[in-house]
Structure 1
Amino acid sequence: RKVRLSQARGRRQPVLILFTLALALTVRFLTRRFIGEYGDIESIYSHNISVDGREQTLNIWDSPYSQQDLSSESITYEKRVQWADGFVLVYSICDRASFNNVGKLLQSIKATKDYAGLEKLPVVIVGNKRDLHHRRTVLSEDGRLLALSADCQFYEVSAAENYHSVLMVFHGLVNRIRESRSAVKKPAGIKGIVKSMSAVFARRRTDSL
């Protein structure tokens, strides 16, 4: 079901933004069907999913990627990134350029969003077209290393052949979003408490002088 951007953000539900060759993955997830040919269509969908026994509504902004998006002057791109709570970055294992673009997008997202203090980013990197392994130009190890370097999760799937693997991508991202939110809400811990107490006593000593 398509929704308006203002409605999607207002519900305060976890949202996703998908870049680079992602539409086939989105349609497979939403409908369980695979359609081979797509145009560059930007759409927002709402979809319910159950992850670990908990119902979750996802608002999915499926957005084609262009080099212009990475421009520091691209207000539209920044709006997309700020809108999203989580990201699925998709490349084709048969297209090295699309893999390189995912690397650029990843760096741009990290520069735009404030992820300070998070051990795991709410980002998953997906290598699609696993069924075309005979045409592979991007090794699985390349994808894993890119994800590892940025503390992201990595999947290799075939949207054409396997619905379950596509579903696991979205389950993984929902868990990442939940973990990132929990990390933000966690108390400071013993180190944070000690640091806060030290600051309080330091202020008291200063005031008494």
Structure 2
Amino acid sequence: MPYIQANTGRTAVTRLPAASAVTSSPPGSPVQTTGRMAANKSKGQSSLALHKVIMVGSGGVGKSALTLQFMYDEFVEDYEPTKADSYRKKVVLDGEEVQIDILDTAGQEDYAAIRDNYFRSGEGFLLLFSITEHESFTATAEFREQILRVKSEEDKIPLLVVGNKSDLEERRQVPVEEARSKADEWGVQYVETSAKTRANVDKVFFDLMREIRAKKMSENKEKNGKKSSKNKKSFKERCCLL
């Protein structure tokens, strides 16, 4: 996993995702890691379930701030992403150790043409808007349409609508009822978050991972059912009456 570079407006801060942290060897050891240890670690990580999350929304709604708060428990107010930043972290989901891969996409229209590629790789989506900017809420419909178009072959797409910046209640432009009504219309969950106070930050990521996991389990069950049915049919075709 490459280093992640976050531009805070003043200095470039290089961050290493938690899942890529190096564990020190016992005192007195001449080296910190060996090829075998690294291979075992890599093998252990690759065996964990991986859930791919895509952050979607207009520029300035707090996609990066929410991601960095979840990753590092830090609020970065002046973060300025380029085209996209990718993060990976090991977490415990309902008692199971898994990995979450987060792709923080740029909201600017300049990058709309390359979003299709990002969306194809995603398994679940956090569709963000700022409660202080009604235009960003209106834009969620267009982002959702793009996701549905790219993922048209899939029946149900794990997606949460997220109203960010809930700490700025005095500047609210999007009523809770309006946002919840739209989410109900789309058949998805609506949650309000604050990257600054960390309100509901973990909730949206973990709830989305649960939806992704449920979809994978359903697909695997369906796939195994078809395979079993095919094997039974093949067995019957090989049988003959004596």
Q: CA deviation at 1:3?
A: 6.5
What secondary structure does 1:43 align onto? strand
Which has the larger helix fraction? 1
Q: Distance in 1 between matches of 2:115 and 2:198?
A: 31
Counterpart in 2 of 1:185? 220
CA-CA distance at 1:183 after TM superposition:
2.5
Aligned residue pairs: how many?
179
* Cα distance in 2 for residues equivalent to 1:103 and 1:124: 13
Amino acid at match of 1:67: E
- Tell me which amino acid in the other structure corresponds to 2:115: Y
AA of the residue aligned to 1:171:
F
> Shift in Å at residue 182 of structure 1?
2.2
The percent identity for this pair of structures is 26
CA change 1:127–1:178 in 2 (3 A) is same
Partner residue in 2 for 1:91: 129
**1:116 CA displacement:** 4.3
* Correspondence list, 1:40-119, <5 A: 40-41=81-82, 42-70=84-112, 74=113, 76-114=114-152, 116-118=154-156
> How many Å separate the matches in 2 of 1:158 and 1:80?
25
8 Å contact from structure 1 (residues 17, 88) kept in 2: yes
Question: Secondary structure at 2:81's aligned position in 1?
Answer: coil
Aligned with residue 27 of structure 1, among 35, 45, 68: 68
CA deviation profile, 1:80-134 (whole Å, cap 9, x unmatched)? 010111111111100111111112101110111036443xx31111101111111
Deviations 1:135-161 (A, max 9, x none): 100011222122222222211011111
Question: Which amino acid in structure 2 is aligned with residue 182 of structure 1?
Answer: M
Letter in 2 for 1:130: S
- Look up the match of 2:54: 17
**SS of equivalent to 2:89:** strand
Deviations 1:185-208 (A, max 9, x none): 3349xxx9xxx9xxx9xxxxxxxx
Q: Give the alignment of 1:165-176 within 5 angstroms.
A: 165-176=200-211
Higher RCO (CA-CA < 8 Å; seq separation 6+): 1
**SS, match of residue 186 in structure 1:** helix
The residue that corresponds to 2:42 in the other structure is none
1:131 corresponds in structure 2 to: 167
Structure 1's unaligned 5+ residue stretches are 5-10, 201-209
Which stretch has the larger CA shift, 132-141 or 150-159? 150-159
Structure 2 length as normaliser, TM-score?
A: 0.67
Query: Which consecutive residues of structure 2, in runs of 5 or more, have no partner in the other structure?
Result: 5-45, 234-242
1:22-46 alpha-carbon deviations (Å, 9 max, x no partner): 0110010001111211213321111
CA contact (8 A) 1:103 1:146 kept: no
Alpha-carbon distance in structure 2 between the residues aligned to 1:146 and 1:183: 26
Q: Secondary structure at the match of 1:80?
A: helix
Amino acid corresponding to residue 221 of structure 2 in structure 1: K
Letter in 1 for 2:91: I
Higher alpha-carbon Rg: 2
Q: Separation in 2 of the partners of 1:131 and 1:16? A: 24
Counterpart position of 2:7: none
